[in-house]
Structure 1
Amino acid sequence: MPKRRPARKFVFVTGGVMSGVGKGVATASIGALLKARGLRVTAVKIDPYLNVDPGTMNPVEHGEVFVTEDGLETDQDLGNYERFLDENLHRVNYMTTGIVYLSVIERERSMGYGGKTVEAVPHIPLEVIDRIKAAAEDANADVTMIEIGGTVGEYQNVLYLEACRMMKLESPKDVMVVLVSYLPVPSNLGEMKTKPTQYACRTLNAAGLQPDMLICRGAFPLDDVRKRKLSINCNVPKEAVISAPDVSSIYEVPLKFNAEHVTDRIVDVLDLPKVRVNLEPWVELNERIASSADPVHIGVIGKYFSTGDFTLSDAYLSVLEAIKHAAWSVRRKPEIEWLNSEEFEKNPKSVAGKLKHLDGILIPGGFGSRGVEGKIMAIQYAREHGKPYLGLCYGLQLAVIEVARHVLKLGDAASTEFEEHTPHPIIHLMNEQEERMKHQDYGGSMRLGNYPCRLRKGSRGWELYGKRDVIEERHRHRYEVNPDYRKPLEDAGLIISGTSPDGKLAEIIELKDHPFFMASQFHPEFTSRPFRPNPLFLGFLKSATGEGRGK
């Protein structure tokens, strides 16, 4: 008889007290530790909003939209999972309340329930369970990590907690519940308070679930007194109350969790093989980060920064991580400055003063007309002053417009995205997008996911990608370089070093006689990993630190 496969295991990660305390990093770190034990691991993110996906949401509202290789727009936590697990995830690894309800309603409309009454319970939790199990099957995973967005106290999470309860009821030895909660230290008291976490735990109890582990986030380490108090009041063994203080780099978290014996506890609860964890790559990575002392100053010029009186860097999370990966690989400490392009428009004379001290300038993806002229000013400065420049998606389109305006002297050159009737549509809508825009078909309708790119032999792009003729990278765009202007642009010194296989779409551009001036229509930040920086970011950082210039 064939050998019976061990049961698949599931670890649910829930949140308490407040969102944004690091459930995604905790989920990814636990997954990385389990993988370091030789287990096959995948991860699922559940977002409790009614949007089918975050693609139509403002980045200030939601943060970065991360795109999977098979073309789904997802939450930024999928990026952390990929970076920590060093695995490509897929659309099966993500769900929202909107997509879950849509699936159930579509099934009901097609008589998929055989005429039965369809209700929120049990049919929504059952759909969630089916999706979780499908992700486990897709990856042939021993352990599937499932992060439920937000906190346990939010009304919209009740159905996801119900799915967890149903799975645990069906197979109690195969399902584990982790509560990541925040322990504040009020400045007027100077004492770490456990009561908010106790309330979060009781809220989870009210949903029929008992946490098997508490991960206690806070500005400071958890002391023994509070470990005992949480253990008693939350009915969790003291050894399963985990201290998770703030760290200087998220890549320290796996090592910190290992020191707290996080996966030892998981292995015991889920009856997993007791195999020694191999953390050598993580130790080496953290040693490299710690030894990267000399700074490299990179300016990221965008517009999705402000949220009230605060700066929101989450809109460009993968870009930020990709810069770090590349900087650490050349043993430099990344010093990232967030520059709002709208400020340049208000005061054009400030551009030189803001940019001259930088070692490199990066313009990430974006949409719309706001802040465009300020970004073009920054690109012009980088081109004229030999400042290393990397443009991503919109950063490529605006770089091409800048060259058209100031080298070809086509002063009215623009994109039809923000100048519909420009006499020089250097950037225009992709052919397959025109019909969609007529019908306002915005959701999930861009050019999304992996597409091949053919590299021009002898170009800088070809060199950076290891002299490969064809690569694949992830896209998220509707507009492209107008092929009618390609020849005059190339005559002006613009090299189109990467194209679609049929040669019609410009994928990578670079400039002759410049230390480093490159841009890609795709998003290389999505494929950068802490152990393997993306080649474009690595080339950019090498140039910014004085290496590899002058090709």
Structure 2
Amino acid sequence: MARFIFITGGVVSSLGKGLLAASLGALLQARGYKVRIRKFDPYLNVDPGTMSPYQHGEVYVTDDGAETDLDLGHYERFTGVSARQSDNVTSGRIYSDIIAKERRGDYLGATVQVVPHVTNAIKEFAQNDIDGLDFVICEIGGTIGDIESLPFVEALRQLKNDLGPGQTCFVHTTLVPYIAAAGELKTKPTQHSVRELTSYGIQPQVLLCRTEHPIPDNERRKIALFCNVPEGAVIQALDARSIYDVPLQYHHEGLDREVLKAFGIEAEDSPDLTRWIDIMDRVDNPEGEVTIGVVGKYVALPDAYKSLREALVHGGLANRVKVNIKWLDAEMFEGDPEDLVPQLEPLHAILVPGGFGERGSEGKIAAIRFARTRNIPFFGICLGMQMACIEAARHQAGIADATTTEFGEQGEPIIGLITEWMSEEGLQKRSEDTDLGGTMRLGAYDAKLSPNSKVASVYGTTEISERHRHRYEVNSHYIPKLEEGGLIFSGMSPDGELPEIVERPEHPWFIGVQFHPELKSRPFDPHPLFKGFVAAALEQSRLV
């Protein structure tokens, strides 16, 4: 029977609950346990699919097509366990399902209430699809005391009683701030946060205390005394030099030992942390460095490209080089073409990521042309691939007004709305009037690669599966013209209808993909495209 670990947060947000869940999962895996990590989000959106990246960061997409919180990316990267639709739920999804049941009459005339109907739905979600697991780690979004998260906290309190002794462990994350004027760490915020959590009927067994300074023994004893936990269960969490050092840091502080102790499990053997030690050796001892420019739309908020950033880091780990990322707002390249030179010329490679909307598109096209004509390694992802096709159409295929219908009806539509495609569920159809939420081509789809192509050599195979999240596709009607100009369509859907990959054989490294390879990259298993892209950047660095 699976045991449950519930992770809550107090005092302030952004304390790293997602990294805590991912690191704890990795540590339990290193001890031989099977784990799955889940995220409870208290907002009323059904999923984050329609939320602005500036509000919520990136949308992480699973193999089975769920649009989820970016923390699920951490879970996958640290454990290698592919997330599923059943691993992320929001208040919006819970309430939507309950209201649909009420409208159908499923409750047989009963008054529908938060307790028991909402809390029961949350408990059902937590316990669904967990066969064969040793531990289920559940991260509760938000901060204790937020009105939005109260139904989740109450559901977990009930679940603790339902499962019985020894089946649950609560880990509470807090902040221990340093007051410079007093020269002291303050434990009172932690005490008050735990007191509020206990007022809801939950006593945490382990405290993870985020702090900028080491916690002295006397302060640790004070926290333990006032928060009713063993002194050893007060785990300090100092800022780490890399997120991939966090599992090692938390193990050194005894996190996995204390969590197992809360379940009555004696942690006798040391976990096998070889992979994490190797990763940190590559982080700390690079044999070179490269600078890669990301020309995007949401560069003011790095979390909007969280998986992309980590995939570039993974490519660096694979090549044992440090990757310096230069975030460049595409809009600044929409004026004088000479503005590109001082920004792009020093770069060893250029990447244009995905996005939605017209803003910055001309700057992206200008950056792609710069990479093409200067023989600088280029990688286009989703919208980045589409902009590469428009650039080729305008400057090589003689279609001066080439554009995408995503930006309006003017010009010639090299890129158009995808209206139907085949999935495992059968034929999918969309139109301009379709709702925005959850209606894109989402999740893992197969593709076939041309045998002698660059991407086939990068992957080492001609059959791949990658995750998609897009609403527009390259119009296959224009493929012959674009290929005459030198842009080769080297990857297609199995039925040959949907373009998946473009490349330029004569270019040192020029690849555009319709999917999001960054979603499948892991620090201990870097994605081959990012591994190859960083290798090309390294080669470029030797030429300049």
TM-score (norm 1): 0.94
- The CA distance in 2 between the partners of 1:246 and 1:58, in whole Å, is 28
Corresponding residue number in structure 1 for 2:155: 163
State the match for 2:18 in structure 1: 24
Match among 368, 379, 382 for residue 357 of structure 2:
368
Inter-partner Cα distance in structure 2 for 1:153 and 1:299: 41
389, 402, 405: which one aligns with 2:394:
405
- 1:434-471 CA-partner distances (Å, limit 9, x unpaired): 974432411100000000010110101101111x1211
Instruction: Name the counterpart of 1:4.
Output: none
> Aligned residue for 2:414?
426
Report which stretch shifted further, 117-126 or 69-78.
117-126
Moved more, 447-456 or 282-291: 282-291
Q: What RMSD in Å do the two structures reach over aligned CA positions?
A: 1.7
What is the aligned partner in structure 1 of residue 143 from structure 2?
151
| Contact residue 542 and residue 548 of structure 1 kept, 8 A | no
User: SS at 2:503's partner residue?
Assistant: strand
Amino acid at match of 1:9: R
Q: Is 1:89 equivalent to 2:83 in the alignment?
A: yes
Segments of structure 2 that go 5 or more residues without pairing to the other structure are 422-427
Q: Which amino acid aligns with 2:118?
A: I
Q: Which amino acid aligns with 1:124?
A: V
Output aligned runs, 1:400-549, within 5 Å: 400-422=389-411, 424-432=412-420, 436-466=430-460, 468-546=461-539
Q: Is residue 364–residue 392 contact of structure 1 (8 Å, CA) maintained in 2?
A: yes
Equivalent position of 2:424 in the other structure: none
| Distance (Å, rounded) in 2 between the aligned partners of 1:116 and 1:229 | 49
State the shift of 1:232 in Å. 1.3
Task: Give the partner amino acid of 2:145.
Answer: G
Quote the residue 1:309 is aligned against: none
Q: Secondary structure at the match of 2:539?
A: coil
2:254 corresponds to 1:265: no
Instruction: Output the CA distance in 1 between the equivalents of 2:320 and 2:440.
Output: 37
> Secondary structure of 1:349's match?
helix
Q: Does 1:287 align with 2:281?
A: yes
Q: Does 1:380 align with 2:369?
A: yes
1:48-63 maps to which residues of 2 (within 5 A)?
48-63=42-57
Compared CA separation, residues 428 and 90, structure 1 to 2 (3 A): same
> Cα 1:275–1:477, aligned 2, differ >3 Å: closer, same or farther?
farther
| Counterpart-to-counterpart distance in 2, 1:259 and 1:435 | 52
Letter paired with 1:81:
Y
Q: In the TM superposition, what is the alpha-carbon distance from 1:286 to its structure 2 partner?
A: 1.1
Picking from 297, 312, 318, the partner of 1:329 is 318
Matches of 1:469 and 1:163 in 2, distance apart? 48
The structure 2 residue matched to 1:205, chosen from 193, 198, 212, is 198
Does structure 1 retain, via aligned residues, the 8 Å contact 2:2–2:133? yes
Partner of 2:328: 339
Aligned residue pairs: how many?
535
Aligned mates of 1:229, 1:11 — CA distance in 2: 25
Secondary structure at the aligned position of 1:336 is classed as strand
Distance 2:464 2:488 in 1: 18
- 1:535 positional shift: 0.9
> Following the alignment from structure 2 to structure 1, what is the Cα–Cα distance between the partners of residues 223 and 129?
33
Q: Could you give the per-residue CA deviations for residues 23-72 of structure 1, whole angstroms, max 9, x where no partner exists?
A: 10000000111111111100110111000000000000110000000000
- Using the TM superposition, give the Cα deviation of residue 408 of structure 1 relative to its aligned residue in structure 2, in angstroms: 1.6
One-letter amino acid matched to 1:362: L
Contact 1:60 1:305 in 2 (8 A): no
Is 1:124 aligned to 2:112, yes or no?
Answer: no
Deviations 1:417-441 (A, max 9, x none): 013231x211111123997443241
Aligned CA distance change for structure 1 residues 187 and 370 (closer, same or farther; 3 Å): farther
The gaps in structure 1 that reach 5 residues or longer are 1-6, 307-311
1:493–1:156 distance in 2 versus 1, CA, 3 Å = same
The answer to whether the 8 Å contact 1:38/1:275 transfers is no
Write the distance in 2 (CA, Å) between the matches of 1:524 and 1:397: 15
CA distance in 1, matches of 2:446, 2:358: 29
Please give the alpha-carbon distance, in whole angstroms, between the structure 1 residues aligned to 2:451 and 2:430.
36
Displacement, 1:112?
2.7
**Partner AA of 1:260 in structure 2:** E
**Contact preservation (8 Å) 2:42, 2:90:** yes
**Residues 537 and 116 from structure 1, CA distance in 2 versus in 1: closer, same or farther, beyond 3 angstroms?**
same
Residue aligning to 2:171: 178
1:200 Cα deviation (Å)?
A: 1.1
AA partner of residue 151 (structure 1) = T
* Deviates most, 93-102 or 283-292: 283-292
Per-residue deviation, 1:264: 1.1
In structure 2, distance between residues paired with 1:202 and 1:543: 54
Of residues 114, 117, 142 in structure 1, which corresponds to 2:134? 142
| Equivalent residues of 1:516, 1:549 under 8 A apart | no
SS at match of 2:376: coil
